[in-house]
């Protein structure tokens, strides 16, 4: 993988990632010629004392770009006089600092006092093809994206004040995607978010009670059960027993590793094949592109979480709110008001339908 660094007109960092066989990029040609003001983040972190959770307040994001026409997409390559966020006429994978970040690199957390949000938000463009999708990428391109996620996890995780690195993709207008171009994001949180924090709490309790790793026990049980969708030498994709969403698939490497940088070349290669297989089945489930959220659960990165890195087990969670053709599952009274999910489908039934797709 070849990495080329540059700066956008407002000072934000941009990185081009290319396969080794791709000709090198001349840094002198990577010039953003737009007249942009400096990006200023007005983010704050506020602490919900009743829930024991942090909430980011990013009011400047109200003005972010929202579903522009295809010929005005800011994630397309720059062509002629139409300048975009990527100042080159082509690219393979590009990462840049979000122009409308949820976190802004401010002061570190301090008790329950609202502080400017520390951390970093980056955009990852998977392809220069506006009309493509992650599921339409080649295995080689997916492998490049995995290497990019590993690069960014390692670098962002080393920043002062960062506690958790979360690469994710939101796909589909029903999910709330504001730009149709195939892309994802990476949030470098200044705290450990609620879902990974709860999982680690459960893993600590399980270790104390049994002497075993909770994630390994879950993976062992799922691999032996009827909810497996795709299985390879290094990865298994399954519908979890207590799936919260109508369509939900988790992808686990068989070897317990804390994060994406710890994956071997063989594990990264097979992930590309298994994940593309899963995405193909998801899109075929209802006969049209499935809206989904795909997010990597990685170990925390702060030194005080060293023990948690031994507990954590890297995995990818893909979930969709589509429950039937033309129908969505909305989070209603029980889910939103009480945090208690009510599933409309059996996990075993969804797994069987996904397995039967060829």
Domain parsing of the chain, residue ranges: 2-190, 195-356
Integer Cα distance of 157 and 100 in angstroms: 21
Which of 38-42, 193-197, 230-234, 295-299 shows the lowest mean pLDDT across its residues? 38-42
The whole-number pLDDT of residue 253 equals 98
Integer Cα distance of 212 and 221 in angstroms: 13
Q: Does residue 16 carry a pLDDT above 50?
A: yes
The topology (CATH level 3) of 2-190 is HIT family, subunit A (3.30.428)
The mean predicted confidence, pLDDT, of the chain is: 90
pLDDT 10s digits, 74-122? 999 998 889 999 999 999 999 999 988 887 644 444 444 434 447 899 9
How is residue 311 written in tokens?
């507990």
Active site residues: 183
Same fold, 2-190 and 195-356: yes
Dihedral sign, CA of 62, 67, 71, 75?
A: positive
How is residue 141 written in tokens?
């391109």
CA distance between the termini of the chain:
33
Integer Cα distance of 282 and 288 in angstroms: 9
Integer Cα distance of 239 and 249 in angstroms: 5
CA angle 138, 143, 146 (to 5 degrees): 130
The whole-number pLDDT of residue 62 equals 54
pLDDT, average across residues 31-42: 80
Integer Cα distance of 355 and 358 in angstroms: 8
pLDDT 10s digits, 232-274? 999 999 999 999 999 999 999 999 999 999 999 999 999 999 9
3-state secondary structure of 223: helix
pLDDT 10s digits, 136-155? 999 999 999 999 999 999 99
Q: Does residue 217 carry a pLDDT above 80?
A: yes
pLDDT, average across residues 321-344: 91
The CATH code of the domain at 195-356 is 3.30.428.10
* Total-model pTM: 0.94
**Please, are residues 164 and 298 in contact by the beta-carbon 8 Å criterion?**
yes
The whole-number pLDDT of residue 55 equals 87
Sort 337 into a burial class: Cβ within 10 Å, 0-12 / 13-18 / 19+.
exposed
pLDDT, average across residues 222-227: 97
The whole-number pLDDT of residue 3 equals 95
Integer Cα distance of 261 and 36 in angstroms: 34
CA angle 52, 296, 131 (to 5 degrees): 125
Integer Cα distance of 204 and 213 in angstroms: 8
């Amino acid at each position: 993988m070849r990495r080329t660094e540059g700066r956008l007109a407002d000072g934000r960092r941009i990185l081009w990632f290319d396969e080794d066989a791709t000709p090198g990029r001349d840094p002198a040609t990577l010039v953003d010629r737009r007249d942009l003001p400096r990006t200023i983040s007005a983010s704050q972190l506020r602490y919900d004392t009743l829930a024991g959770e942090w909430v980011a307040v990013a009011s400047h994001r109200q003005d972010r770009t929202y579903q522009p026409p295809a010929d005005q997409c800011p994630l397309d390559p720059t062509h002629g006089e139409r300048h975009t966020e990527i100042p080159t006429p082509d690219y393979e994978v590009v990462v840049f600092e979000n122009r409308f970040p949820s976190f802004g690199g401010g002061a570190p957390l301090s008790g329950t006092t609202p502080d400017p949000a520390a951390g970093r938000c980056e955009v990852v463009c998977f392809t220069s093809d506006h009309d493509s999708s992650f599921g339409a990428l080649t295995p080689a391109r997916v492998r490049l994206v995995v290497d990019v996620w590993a690069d960014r996890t390692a670098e962002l995780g080393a920043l002062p004040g960062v506690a958790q690195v979360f690469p994710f993709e939101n796909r589909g207008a029903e999910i709330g995607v504001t730009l149709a171009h195939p892309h994802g994001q990476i949030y470098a949180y200044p705290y450990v978010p609620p879902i990974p924090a709860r999982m680690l709490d459960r893993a600590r309790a399980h270790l104390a009670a049994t002497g075993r790793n909770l994630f390994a026990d879950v993976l062992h049980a799922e691999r032996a059960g009827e909810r497996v969708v795709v299985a390879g030498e290094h990865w298994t994709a399954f519908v979890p027993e207590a799936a919260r969403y109508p369509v939900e698939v988790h992808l686990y490497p068989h070897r317990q590793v804390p994060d994406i940088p710890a994956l071997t070349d063989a594990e990264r290669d097979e992930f590309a094949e298994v994940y593309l297989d899963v995405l193909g089945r998801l899109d075929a489930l209802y006969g049209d592109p499935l809206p989904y959220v795909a997010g990597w659960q990685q170990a925390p990165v702060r030194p005080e979480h060293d023990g948690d890195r031994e507990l954590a087990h890297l995995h990818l969670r893909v979930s969709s709110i589509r429950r039937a053709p033309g129908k969505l599952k909305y989070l209603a009274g029980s889910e939103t008001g009480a945090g208690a999910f009510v599933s409309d489908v059996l996990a075993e039934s969804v797994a069987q339908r996904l397995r039967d797709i060829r």
